[in-house]
Amino acid sequence: MLLRPNPSSGVPIYLQLMEQVKHSIETGALRPGDQLPAIRPLAEELVVNPNTVAKAYRELEHEGVIELRHGAGAFVASSTRAIPADAMRAARGIVAGAIDKLRQRGISDEEIRRMVEAQLAGLTGTGAHRG
Amino acid sequence: MLLRPNPSSGVPIYLQLMEQVKHSIETGALRPGDQLPAIRPLAEELVVNPNTVAKAYRELEHEGVIELRHGAGAFVASSTRAIPADAMRAARGIVAGAIDKLRQRGISDEEIRRMVEAQLAGLTGTGAHRG
DNA sequence: ACTACTGTATTATATGTGTAGCACAGTTGA
DNA sequence: TCAACTGTGCTACACATATAATACAGTAGT
């Protein structure tokens, strides 16, 4: 698993942690039953307050993504399911290839993010000012 | 131009507005010298507080993206430059094609976002827990 | 001059986020 | 039993975000 929140991105740290845990599960880096890092050591490692990690874990449990066992630890819920390895490989290739092409054309990472966001939102950017 | 902030995304509204204005400039929907919507009408249209729009404009001016003329309005700075139309068309095609393929493979929009983020950050997701 | 627009600034209030420190309670293994 | 770990709960404080209402000041057209 890879956790690396960015405090200056504007996105709350606990939300970033939630996203990254979900990502690890969907990519197969974390499997059902796997134990997550304990709150306090993880908070120390990420230079973040334990309450912040606890909040992320609490919300993840509320969403059914992980299971919290008092005194024992945090574990990936058994109901979670990863994307199949071959589909994951293909997907990673698609994303890597697209980003590579965009960067070669001089599109900045910031603008790549905005284009993906616009596309996912179904915005075609025809020039009309939405009313 | 197209402005549509999402209040429940976790990202501050004023940051979203900044991103979307930048996007409009880079895609050519807004050109140097163009006048932006006035603060109050825009705030009313987006159902957002005028102070929030004012903050976005103020920050954009601080970044040199727009120019604020007291009493006259907000205008796209002359120093800004859009991505060439043909490069923009190509880039849009790349993004649209990739997202289409990913969706066809059953990857959720949320996971697409995470994969793009992971790829842009240069994370390969090998499974090691960063220390 | 007047009016209607523009951005600018202020105060107050509410909410969410994050930090800090502390206490409590369940689990595990020596 | 004991010690060391785990999650849980609480209070207090600081800061950023967002709303609300109000006032001030510059610009442009009549």
A14 and A72 assigned to the same domain: yes
B89 and B70 inside one domain: no
The pLDDT assigned to A2 comes to 77
Residue A54 lies in a domain: yes
Number of structural domains (chain A) is 2
Does any domain span residue B50?
yes
Q: Helix, strand, coil proportions of chain A in percent (round to 5)?
A: 50, 5, 40
Measured from the Cβ of residue A63, the count of other Cβ atoms closer than 10 Å reads: 11
Residue A130 included in any domain? no
**B41 and B95 together in one domain:** no
Number of residues that make up chain B: 131
Residues A12 and A64 in one domain: yes
Instruction: Tell me: do A70 and A32 sit in the same domain.
Output: yes
Q: How far apart are CA B113 and CA B119, in angstroms?
A: 10
Task: Please check the confidence at residue B1 and state whether its pLDDT lies above 80.
Answer: no
Residues with CB under 7 A from strand C: A 7, 12-15, 47-52, 55, 69-72; B 10, 36, 38-41, 50-51, 54, 57-58, 61, 68-74
Kindly report the bases of strand C lying within 7 A of a protein C-beta atom: 5-11, 16-22, 25-28
Instruction: Give per-residue pLDDT as tens, B81-120.
Output: 999 999 999 999 999 999 999 999 999 999 999 999 999 9
Helix, strand, coil % over all residues of chain B, rounded to 5: 50, 5, 40
DSSP β-ladder status, A66-69 and A73-76: antiparallel
> What does the pLDDT look like over A33-69, one tens digit per residue?
999 999 999 999 999 999 999 999 999 999 999 999 9
Q: What is the pTM of this model?
A: 0.90
Q: Which domain holds residue A112?
A: 85-124
pLDDT for the residue numbered A123: 66
First to last CA, chain B: 44
Chain A partners within 8 Å of B97 (Cβ): 98
In a domain, A112, yes or no: yes
In a domain, A24, yes or no: yes
Question: Per the domain annotation, does B114 fall within a domain?
Answer: yes
Question: What is the rounded end-to-end Cα distance, in angstroms, of chain A?
Answer: 43
pLDDT score of A130 more than 60:
no
B71 and B94: one domain?
Answer: no
Angle at A124 between CA B105 and CA A131, to 5 degrees: 130
Residue A113 has pLDDT above 70, yes or no: yes
Question: What tens digit of pLDDT does each residue of B24-35 get?
Answer: 999 999 999 999
Selecting from B1, B10, B123 the residue whose C-beta is nearest the C-beta of A2 gives B123
Does residue A92 share a domain with residue A70? no
Residues B45 and B23 in one domain: yes
Residues 57-76 of B with CB under 7 A from strand D: 69-72
pLDDT digits (tens, 9 = 90+) for A6-35: 988 899 999 999 999 999 999 999 999 999
- For residues B93 and B72, membership in a common domain is answered with no
**Does one domain contain both B16 and B69?**
yes
Q: Which amino acid is at B81?
A: R
**Residues B29-62 pLDDT 10s:** 999 999 999 999 999 999 999 999 999 999 999 9
**A57 with A93, same domain?**
no
Q: Is A53 exposed, middle or buried (0-12, 13-18, 19+ CB in 10 A)?
A: buried
Model confidence at B10: pLDDT above 50: yes
SS3 B125: coil
Q: CB–CB of A118/B26 below 8 Å? A: no
